[in-house]
């Protein structure tokens, strides 16, 4: 029996997302006792202490299903951002949020506009739904060309993804650029503006930049806007897989209808609700990253290594004359895991 005949054509030849290798794997494969992982932009300070305390207090309750509506987490986010609960939704990490959006909006033969060198999961989500990903080149300096992205929208365009700041380049678009972009997007064949998905996974780190825009400032005037953020980075909860998003109440209502029940586990909800008010975690993390970037920028300059200034907690640099994979292999033998961006 040829099982492949039963598989959707969109899934044939579909390449899986290649995640950064975990520390345990490298230790086992390389015979190393000590490994430093820099590949997945995790917080070296570890998890929010407030989150850890809340999780420990609730460990005995894990035999209960979680609250399918994530009420306590949404309430905490609502109070923190001063936004109605009806404008907030949650997901099992940013990856699930991207898929929830794709399943809700994307149809076959429709187009999704993305920027080259942005997060690969946008294109993967489009392909999974049979939509076409229209890839727009970046501006000099590896920055999203929002003007070109707006011009790339056609009557077939269903959505545009903007990562701000962008991973892996670390670049960002300022408030003026984002405002103009939202106004310039043309109407599609339905007579509506396409959905704009603003990925702000590194929002807290980028907030150090004076002209970095807060997506929430644009939400009220742009009913086609969806914003999402995560607890994986600055709050150190990557292993719990918990993220959240903002949108108009009608969009949130449909996301709530179509998402899986119990998609955010009990401990993730508890940890997120505690972490969102952990100001000490945020302050220490921001200072550590600021100091780290100052140090690394100086070392890169001294070694004449080309790099891009980053608004995130990571730096993209040119490993020439070595290819990224060659440089990765050399460093991993020394017990340091980076991300090759060939």
Q: What is the pLDDT of residues 37-60, one digit of tens each?
A: 999 999 999 999 999 999 999 999
pLDDT tens-digit profile of 82-105?
A: 999 999 999 999 999 999 999 999
Q: Is residue 101 part of a domain?
A: yes
Q: Is residue 300 part of a domain?
A: yes
pLDDT tens-digit profile of 147-165?
A: 999 999 999 999 999 999 9
pLDDT tens-digit profile of 324-341?
A: 999 999 999 999 999 999
Q: Is residue 183 part of a domain?
A: yes
Q: Give the pLDDT band of residue 127 (cuts 50, 70, 90).
A: very high
Q: Is residue 110 part of a domain?
A: yes
- Among residues 278, 296, 325, the one where a domain terminates is 278
Segment (H or E) for 91:
strand 88-91
Phi, psi at 163, each rounded to 5°? -100, 120
Q: Is residue 342 part of a domain?
A: no
**In total, how many domains does the chain have?**
2
- Are 327 and 204 found together in one domain? no
Q: Tell me the β-bridge partners of 163.
A: 199
Which among 114, 58, 62, 96 is positioned nearest to 231, based on CA atoms?
96
pLDDT at 21: 78
- Are 81 and 195 found together in one domain? yes
- Are 29 and 66 found together in one domain? no
- Are 254 and 177 found together in one domain? yes
Q: Is residue 53 part of a domain?
A: no
- Are 235 and 299 found together in one domain? no
- Are 131 and 256 found together in one domain? yes
- State the pTM of this model: 0.95
| CATH assignment at residue 82 | 3.40.640.10
């Amino acid at each position: 029996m040829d099982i492949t005949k039963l598989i959707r054509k969109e899934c044939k030849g579909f390449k899986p997302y290649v995640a950064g290798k975990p520390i345990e794997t490298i230790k086992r494969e390389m015979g190393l006792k000590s490994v430093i992982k820099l590949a997945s932009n995790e917080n070296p300070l570890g998890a929010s202490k407030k989150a850890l305390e809340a999780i420990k207090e609730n460990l005995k309750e894990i035999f209960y299903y979680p609250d399918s509506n994530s009420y306590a987490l949404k309430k905490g986010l609502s109070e923190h951002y001063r936004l109605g609960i009806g404008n907030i939704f949650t997901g099992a990490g940013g990856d699930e949020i991207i898929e929830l959006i794709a399943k809700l909006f994307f149809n076959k033969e429709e187009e999704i506009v993305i920027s080259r060198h942005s997060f690969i999961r946008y294109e993967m989500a489009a392909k999974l739904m049979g939509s076409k990903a229209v890839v727009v080149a970046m501006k000099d300096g590896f920055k999203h060309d929002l003007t070109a992205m707006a011009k790339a929208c056609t009557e077939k365009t269903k959505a545009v993804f903007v990562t701000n700041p962008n991973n892996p380049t670390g670049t960002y678009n300022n408030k003026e650029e984002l405002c103009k972009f939202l106004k310039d997007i043309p109407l599609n064949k339905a007579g509506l503006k396409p959905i704009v998905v603003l990925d702000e996974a590194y929002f807290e780190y980028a907030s150090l930049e004076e002209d970095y825009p807060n997506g929430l400032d644009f939400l009220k005037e742009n009913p086609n806007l969806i914003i999402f953020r995560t607890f994986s980075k600055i709050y150190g909860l990557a292993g719990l897989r918990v993220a959240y998003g903002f949108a108009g109440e009608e969009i949130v209502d449909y996301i709530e209808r179509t998402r899986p029940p119990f998609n955010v586990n009990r401990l993730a909800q508890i940890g997120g609700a505690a972490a969102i008010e952990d100001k000490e975690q945020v302050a220490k993390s921001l200072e550590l990253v600021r100091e780290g970037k100052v140090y690394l920028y100086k070392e890169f300059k001294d070694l004449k290594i080309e790099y891009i200034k980053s608004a995130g907690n990571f730096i993209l640099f040119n490993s020439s004359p070595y290819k990224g994979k060659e440089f990765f292999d050399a460093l991993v033998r020394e017990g340091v895991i980076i991300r090759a961006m060939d």
